[in-house]
Amino acid sequence: MGEHRNQVAPSVGGRSLVSAQSSSTPSSSASPVELLELRVQRLTEELAAADRELAAQQRDVEVMAARREAAREAARQLVHALPAPVITTDADGGIEHSNPAASALLAVPSAALVSTPVQAFVATEDRPLVRSLLSRAGREGTVTARLRLQPREGQVREVHAVVSSCTEVLQRRLVVLLPVAGPVQAGVRPEGPGSATPAPDGAPPAPARRGAAGPEVLRSLGNLVELAVSGAPGHQLLAAVAAAAVAAVPGATSGSASTGDPAQPTDSAADSAEAQAVDGAQWAADEGPALLAHSTGEAVWTSDVSADERWPRLAMRTAGGGVRSAVSVPLRDGDRVTGVVSAYSSSGAELDAQRAEAYAAAASAVLSAARRTADLVAEVENLKLAMQSRAAIEQAKGAVASRLDCTVEEAFAAMVVMSQDRNVKVRDIGLLVAASPGDRSLDEPLRVALERARQRSTGRPRA
């Protein structure tokens, strides 16, 4: 049979099918036809294994696509639930999606808004400003300005516009439109971003209080929407919920949010030192508006945390502090209370509990949808890792089969035995073999593992 030793054997994908003797191969007296049949059999086995792998990968891709679409749908539902008018556009302002609040503000059904330039609903003089906002958002992340909106029906309205660039898709913009007041007269130029309201008779302008809808607050609202849709980490999103509470509740000067029981929160965030201090005082006193809101599932309001008879221990800890009035509202996921959002005022302003409840409902929708989206993204990432691991294992199976002159099924069985004996994942063995095809140091351990795998399959005792 010496004439057969120098023949070039067929290969698949660059991998030689040359084989040495094994318990599954013919003896050295096998005829050329028998050798050819053996090689064809092995080729057929590898092709069948490749077909199975391709089918499995196709199923994984389909699952990943379904998961991604579910994540997009969760983001759409999140925007749909927000009480603030929100529009998604392309980089040039072409409307792609709008929530019911935006549809009502523009007096146009959501379906009819698709592909319409957002500039079409802006006063002619302010359209260059809109184009500038869309462009700047791509560079700066989030920008704000005051402009005049011209709905399809009704009078011109002045709004604060918050334009954010979606971090996941840089060519998309999120536009939040927050009406400032009632209709304004056409031709009256709105004040610039952050301008103070002029006082009559030339008196000095009144300073803008933090609870008003100024640029800082508008940025926090835009940041909340953008973070939720782009899948920001949970703590970052919770911090945005706390900051946006200041905008949602007139008179509020600081805000906080927590998940879990406020007495032992799983996560918490505050937008200022004063909010953090009063949260800490409630935790230390084991009483207060946030704890009561969580336990009762109802909004809790107080005009002065340092004088409320319901919480004497809290009153002692907050006496002389920076916070006076407070309103705390539970966050929910369906019927389940998942946390609390609080708005505080250092001036003792009467905080609107109804506005706080409306904001808490929207914030709950944001957090719930973000959690679902995060879960779906985690599943997609796990599927990606599984596919990468499977690819490495399949490559290693072919390499081991070629080295040990066995079938790919036997190669995989050998890798499994070796992983069990050495307490190493099959994936890691596969990655090691695939990463260093010229390293033969694993050949002998794999050969021993192959023999043990064959003994197990035939029921023979180990040697």
The model's pLDDT over 360-415, given as tens digits with 9 standing for 90+, comes to: 887 887 788 777 777 776 766 766 666 667 777 788 888 888 888 888 888 888 88
- pLDDT category, 420, cuts 50, 70, 90? confident
**Which residue has tokens 């080295």?**
403
Q: How confident is the model at residue 315 (pLDDT cuts 50, 70, 90)?
A: very high
Q: What is the 3-state secondary structure (H, E, C) of 230-251?
A: HCCCHHHHHHHHHHHHHHHCCC
Pair 61, 211: CB distance under 8 Å: no
Of residues 434 and 323, more confidently modeled: 323
pLDDT in tens, 78-122: 667 666 788 888 888 899 888 888 888 888 998 899 999 999 999
> What is the band of 291 on the pLDDT scale with cuts at 50, 70, 90?
very high
Q: Which of 53-57, 195-199, 380-384 has the lowest mean pLDDT?
A: 195-199
Is the pLDDT assigned to residue 245 strictly greater than 90? no
Quote the CA–CA distance of 60 and 67 in Å, as a whole number: 10
- How confident is residue 76, by pLDDT bands cut at 50, 70 and 90? low
* Position 190 confidence tier, pLDDT thresholds 50, 70, 90: very low
Give the up-direction half-sphere exposure of residue 258: CA atoms within 13 A in the CB hemisphere.
23
Which of 6-20, 52-66, 132-146 is least confident?
6-20
Beta bridge partners of 165: 173
The segment with the largest mean pLDDT, out of 193-202, 279-288, 368-377, is 279-288
Distance from chain centroid for Cα 203: 49
pLDDT of residue 222: 60
| Strand-pair category, 86-90 with 172-183 | antiparallel
Contact 331, 364 (CB under 8 A): yes
Euclidean distance between CA atoms 349 and 251, whole angstroms: 6
Q: Average pLDDT, whole number, for the chain?
A: 76
Place of tokens 């795998």: 453
pLDDT band at residue 299 under the 50/70/90 scheme? very high
In this predicted structure, which of 1-10, 234-243, 345-354 has the lowest mean pLDDT?
1-10
pLDDT at 70 over 70: no
Between 317 and 233, the higher pLDDT residue:
317
Instruction: Tell me: pLDDT of 26 over 60.
Output: no
User: What pLDDT shows up at residue 304?
Assistant: 93
Joined tokens for residue 144: 């704000």
**What are the sequence ranges of the domains in the chain?**
2-64+380-458, 84-186+213-230
Give the model's pLDDT for residue 22.
40
User: By mean pLDDT, which of 188-192, 293-297, 395-399, 454-458 is the weakest?
Assistant: 188-192
Q: What is the mean pLDDT of residues 226-239?
A: 74
CATH class of domain segment(s) 84-186+213-230: alpha beta
Residues 206-230 have pLDDT tens digits of 333 334 444 454 555 666 666 666 6
Is a pLDDT exceeding 90 seen at residue 339?
yes
DSSP string, 352-410: -HHHHHHHHHHHHHHHHHHHHHHHHHHHHHHHHHHHHHHHHHHHHHHHHHHHHT--HHH
Contact between 249 and 351 under an 8 Å Cβ cutoff? The reply is yes
How confident is the model at residue 342, as a pLDDT? 94
Across the range 300-328, mean pLDDT stands at: 91
Percent of the chain with pLDDT over 90: 19
Flag whether pLDDT at 200 surpasses 60.
Answer: no
Q: What percent of the chain has pLDDT over 70?
A: 71
Residues 6+ apart with CB under 8 A from 268: 238, 256, 257, 258, 259, 262, 279
H-helix or E-strand spanning residue 434: helix 426-435
